[in-house]
Amino acid sequence: MEQQQKKPLSFGATMLASALGIVIVSAVFGLLMLISLISMIVSLSKMDKNDTTVVKVGSVLQVDLSTISGDRTGTGLQMSFGNINTVGLIDACAAIRAAGTDENINAVYVTDQGVDALSWGSLTELRQALADFQASGKPVVSYATGYSQPGYYLCSTADIVTLHPSGMVDFRGMGAEVMYYKDLLDKLGVEMQLIRPESCAYKSAGEVYTLNHMSPANREQIRAYISSIWHTATAQIAASRNKDHFSHRDVTDFDGLTVADLNRIADNLSGYLASDARAEHLVDSLCFESDVRHMLRDDFGGKQLIPVAKYAANVKKALPVHKDHIAVIYAEGNVVDGSARGFDQGVYGDDIVKALREAANDESVKAIVLRVNSPGGQATASEAMTYAVRQARAKKPVVVSMGDLAASAGYEMSCLADVIVAQPTTITGSIGVFGTVPNIGKMLSKKLGLNTDTVSTNRNASGLNIMRPLSPTAMAMMERNVEDFYKVFVGRVAEGRHMQYDDVHRIARGRVWTGADAIGIGLVDTLGGIDLAFSIAAEKAGVEKYSVVEFPKEKDTWTQLMELMGEESDSDLTLADKARLAVWYRTAKPTILSRTESDLRYVATAEGLQARIPFITVTM
């Protein structure tokens, strides 16, 4: 029999099948979006619930340094990107101190698995918190498969320092390395025109584009501040590795380390390998982590490990509520104009100005602590924030707490405060300004064959054009601009620090200082952490009991999502809109930039005059 041929589907039937397929796919996709939305809402609601971690008798507070990120604990969208176990530095320190008076906490266990994300100012703050905990008579135990140099600086304060038998201690002194781009730019045919006051020889950030080596002034200031940090670090390590300092370890064969011993070890790398580190008494024991956990249980009654992030959440929830408040305003990152949107990170001028205004006008806020952790940035944003500090100070006390960095624009916004508190390892100063204007015309012509021609009504209509060198008139105008801003900057510091203009200029000129050195020249009032800043603020405000409120206020989750999508408001969102956002939110997962990546993005997009610390890499 002949096989009967099948008739092709009619056009109408084809369209009906296609439409049915689209409906089915859309329904499935809609169901997936709804499931994703429900999952997201459940996830966020779990984060918002007042769940409290049970701290049993015989608990040990585990401080995993890789879980400490930034000054302020992330919330909202950041927490739902798998970061629910991270905690900000300030909350981590508060948790460690609170554990000292918690009868259920027997010890603190510090693990160095990610300390490279923390800089020296943060480490000094953590070190002091651990010392405060030890004052309660409870031990601190540390363990690492390998100690980085910053990690060892922190963990050396422990009563018992342990190391993996195959690990190492990277203890070799401090160095700084600067990368210069001039020769690369020359090969590309790009000329970077640097404009800075003639007297600001130490303001070296722009030199990376115009030189291929360190200038004498930059070499001088870098040597000074890394030496200052190293002096602080070795003095504190030596004090910690003293046999009379602790009572929880066997020191019969150990008289203690001196600063000279530490420098000898660094010069010879004689503590690098695990066996050498033990022989040099950098560590107390070579063992595995399971051995440390047995020791915590057997010697110190540790039955349960409590992550510092969860314990910090407990501490915050248990804080008593008082009618008087002290506002803490976080200014962390590069200084830029405008307002943050979505995942944007940095010190956004409009946000800080708004936070200062709100705190100053809030009758329940009796004083303001401005937490500055910034290398500087755009001069216009810096000016706006400095003016806002002046206005806030006219209404109530303003105390600055400096973190890792409070330099250039970060220092300008600090200088008008009533009191400035810094860590000895804080990098500050850099009072100066610079501008850079590239000339890419030669590159485009020689490399790509692109040329331009102009017609103008006035002789300087194209005087600020990146396709050609600055005209003499434009260059003179730019030089006057940076010189005028520098004079304003120095004048602001002279006003805020009650100094003469010439005295400020002598120590300014763009030079960077550590907190330990800055206190001797009048740029800083006292050395300490944010806890000291709170105490000073409370004393100046005349309050004994207070609650801490944080600024800028956190935006709700949907507002952050809408900002990420480029929208201004979610007031008209339908359920379908929210489902669409939920799917994007779960699949796109925008990345929170690290400090290094953020700095690179900032350099690539920076506009206008820059009041910023020199770009350097410090070998720690």
Adjacency order of strands within the sheet including 335-336: 347-348, 335-336, 376-378, 610-612
Q: Radius of gyration (Cα) for the chain, nearest Å?
A: 28
Whether 56 is catalytic: no
Cβ–Cβ < 8 Å for 338, 354:
no
Pairing assessment for the beta strands 526-527 and 105-111 based on DSSP bridges: unpaired
Question: How many CB atoms lie under 10 A from the CB of residue 307?
Answer: 18
Q: Using alpha carbons, select from 25, 29, 26 the residue that is nearest to residue 37.
A: 29
Q: How far apart are CA 380 and CA 340, in angstroms?
A: 16
SS (H, E, C) 442-488: HHHHHHHCCCCCCCCCCCCCCCCCCCCCCCHHHHHHHHHHHHHHHHH
Looking at residue 54, its amino acid is: V
Helix spans in 49-109 (H): 89-100
- Active-site hit among 138, 203, 310, 366: 203
Q: How far apart are CA 496 and CA 398, in angstroms?
A: 12
Whether 203 is catalytic: yes
Cis, bond preceding 552 (omega within 30 deg of 0) = yes
Cβ–Cβ < 8 Å for 400, 417:
yes
Give, in order, the Cα–Cα distances in Å from 99 to each of 105, 129, 139, 530: 6, 10, 11, 18
Burial of 489 (0-12, 13-18, 19+ CB in 10 A): buried
DSSP bridge partners of 558: none
- Active-site hit among 119, 408, 414, 430: 408
Q: How far apart are CA 125 and CA 354, in angstroms?
A: 28
198, HSE (Cβ side, Cα atoms, 13 Å):
2
Give, in order, the Cα–Cα distances in Å from 168 to each of 110, 272, 448: 17, 5, 51
Cβ–Cβ < 8 Å for 257, 237:
yes
Active-site residues, by number, are: 203, 408
